[in-house]
Amino acid sequence: MSVNEVKNKIAVKDFEVKGTGRKGARTFAIGNEDHTLGNALRHVLMNTSKVSFTGYSVPHPSEPIVQIRVQTADPDGDAIETLKESCQTLHDQCSFVLERLEDMLPEVREDRIRMEKIIAEEGYGDDDDDDEEEGDGDGEEEVVMEED
């Protein structure tokens, strides 16, 4: 669009598994990610009893790729399964913290419940756009059903 527009490079592959040999030792190359996810997953993997070796690296800062290495302690272990479990653990930790936050801020929880009820009652489209006040279509290609 403009001469000096900067486009963030997007990785070619979103996810790639490298490594031959036993199923328990694999390197996962994740595209479009950086230390944000890599360090967090690495930390969760370190605290997993199944894992004997784990680490992460960003091969080059110009490329948005992070590599996570997993080696299981059990010779018959599955590295992919271990990675999935640690994703789930981290996901549960986030859910746990969100719930504790809502406990501490009851008005946020009430608001969320109220919004979800509104969305459920009024059905489709309420959570996408909010041009409820513009009742006339104006000929715009709106995929959303407008509320009365």
Partner 1 sequence: ITVILFFCNPYPNYTKMPHQRFPKIQILSLASHEIKFVLSDTDTSMANTLRRIMIGEVPTLAIDLVEIHENSTVLNDEYIAHRLGLIPIRYQAPDSLRGGDVHGAFLSHRECVCYERCPRCSVEFELEVDYDTVNPARQAQDGAGGEDDEEDHEVMAPLTITSKDLKSNNEYVTPAHFLHQDEQDESQDDGIALVKIGPGQRLKLKAIARMGISKEHAKWCPVAVATYRFWPIITINDDACSTLTAEQKQELVDVCPDRILEYDEQVSGNITVAEDAWDTATYTEDLRVTQNMMKKRPEDEDFLSVEPSTDKFIFNVETTGAMDAEEILMASLRVLKDKLNYMAQEVEKVRDMNM
Grouping H, G, I as helix, E, B as strand and the rest as coil, residue 65 is strand
Q: Are 76 and 25 in contact (CB under 8 A)?
A: no
For residue 12, state whether it binds partner 1 (rule: CB under 8 A). Answer: no
- What is the rounded CA–CA span in Å between residue 135 and residue 133? 6
* Number of residues assigned to the chain: 148
Residue keyed to tokens 């790639």: 16
> Least Å distance between CB 118 and partner 1?
6
For partner 1, the binding residue among 42, 65, 72, 77 (CB under 8 A) is 42
- What is the rounded CA–CA span in Å between residue 55 and residue 98? 28
Size of interface with partner 1, in residues (CB under 8 A): 58
Give the per-residue contact string, 45-64, with partner 1 (x = CB under 8 A; - = no): --xxxx--------------
Phi and psi (nearest 5°) for 136? -80, 140
- What is the rounded CA–CA span in Å between residue 55 and residue 53? 7
Site for partner 1 in 79-138 (CB under 8 A): 80, 83-85, 87-98, 100-101, 104-105, 107-108, 111, 114-115, 118, 127-133
Residues forming contacts to partner 1 in the complex (CB under 8 A) are: 8, 14-17, 28, 30, 33, 35-37, 39-40, 42-44, 47-50, 80, 83-85, 87-98, 100-101, 104-105, 107-108, 111, 114-115, 118, 127-133, 140-144
